[in-house]
Structure 1
């Protein structure tokens, strides 16, 4: 099951809008198909995704987490559901 958030364009404004917190994020293509699920400090991860993310990734959505463990668990849960 994907995150229940609206997609936003994967661009510099998305990186700037991401809270400086741990979280899980999904990268998607133009059709909303989830291409990657990962976790980390959101602005840092989205900068990397913008430069080096999977081919065809044009959209992003995220959810913040309170702890590293929570972020890891959320990412694992969403990876399983996205497959």
Structure 2
């Protein structure tokens, strides 16, 4: 389970068996968890699911993903091979 970054108590990661899916990132903090799809062409993210996240948590996670978008994509491509 490669971890891309830890920030503000959030752990951003993906699972090693997910290489057949489009680029995405999981975020986990305590009992809160979410997953976002990353669209490399439009530089956009789309929520796949979110469990036990407040609106504030959702905004924070989205902001972190957007601020580290390229780093996340690079980590995905390094682990699974380029898909972008």
When the two structures are superposed, what TM-score results if normalisation uses the length of structure 2? 0.31
Which protein has the bigger helix share? 1
When the two structures are superposed, what TM-score results if normalisation uses the length of structure 1? 0.31
Structure whose alpha-carbon radius of gyration is higher: 2
Which protein has the bigger strand share? 2
